[in-house]
A = this chain, B = another copy of it.
Amino acid sequence: MTNFNETKALFHLPAGVVYLDGNSLGPLPKAVMERLDQVATREWGEMVITGWNRAGWIDAPTRVGNRIAALIGAEEGSVVMGDTLSIKVYQALASALELVPDRRVILSDTGNFPSDLYMAQGLIGSLEKDYTLKVVAPEDISAAIDDTVAVLMLTEVDYRTGRKHNMRALTEKAHAHGAVTLWDLAHSAGALEVELSDVGADFAVGCTYKYLNGGPGAPGFIYVAPRHHGKIRPALSGWLGHEAPFEFDLNYRAAAGIDRMRVGTPPILALAALDAALDAWDKTTISDVRQKSLELADRFIAGVEAQCDMLTLATPREHEQRGSQVSFRFEHGYAAMQALIENGVIGDFRAPDIMRFGFTPLYIDEDDVDEAVRVVAEVMRGALWDTPRFKKKSKVT
């Protein structure tokens, strides 16, 4: 069993704060600055251009990708880093659509992160064929999978409510109907067990600044099932996805394997920070983190519900149906979250009425949860929510 006191010691947490927003941006791992110093001062500073080979920068996207692969049940050599989650959605979706050339429907849900939907809309706008992005309610997704669907594109865990899809069942159903799947793991990777290979997922994408603590704007990742590697055409065909980038051929030839999903020159400083952050996973396992996260979340739910009847749980109670965040609905949620932050409990707010709290055992423990419950109860009791001041503050601009 993981010693979570040990993992907590790996992070710098601001004094006097209970940080329950790791589902949005993970805190600073103490190892990051030393790694940045090594890469900037000793590698960039001393090796300059020769660092691409001598320091192994050129392979960083696949080397770090393999570390992520181990956390999401993916095969070695099936994950590569780069760009952002949004760019990776575009890449995956463009390739996925071409695997099912005779269909025109991209199926998603209203719980998907908007950027995923926007990227699909942008791609559709560039294609001549009459593609449709069909967006249904999360609870209607399974029923909407039929033989017209080319790609089922979902975020596993809803960024607002924390509701979790059944990836295995939906993937199986999609495959039974001849569709391919694209899973966004933004709120899954580093939060709960993902078994991409075992589930038979086709494509997956994710970010690394939430539960993987890579820092603000840390690189995205893309997974492609090995069975598809040889078949997919990269829409974003950049030079580092070329079979032989340093031949400087005028014509693109896709690299073998996941390398073909590389695009441009990789962000070495950002990858170094992420790589240092991933060292925390040497001290724990996803299943330990998941189990502890559920315990902390249950403790928070019980504490809050016992004292704050104005807050309504938006997150499913069943463990299998939720991720690692807990969301409450409250009419004046924006104002309440501002008050919580002023009082040292950092969560966040999502329109129209969702207060989000993330339970990340790498650095959050029972004492933090109890303190958060105490502050939430105090803030909820202390404010006159019906006054004009709060009504006004509740509007998001």
Contact = CB atoms under 8 A, between A and B. Distances in A.
A121 B14 CA distance: 48
Interface stretch (A69-77, A126-134, A280-288): A126-134
Contacts of A202: none
A273 to B, nearest CB: 6
A321 interface: no
Interface in A19-57: 19, 21, 24-25, 27-28, 32-33, 36-37, 40-41, 44-52, 57
A358 B25 CA distance: 40
A304 interface: no
State the oligomeric state as a number of copies.
2
A44 B236 contact: no
A233 B127 CA distance: 13
A122 B236 contact: yes
A3 interface: no
List 5 A-B pairs, minimum CB-CB distance, nearest first: A84-B264, A128-B128, A122-B237, A115-B239, A86-B264
Interface of A: 12, 14, 17, 19, 21, 24-25, 27-28, 32-33, 36-37, 40-41, 44-52, 57, 82-87, 90, 94, 110, 113-115, 117-119, 121-123, 125-129, 135, 160, 207, 209, 215-220, 233-242, 246-252, 263-271, 273, 341, 346, 348, 350-351, 396
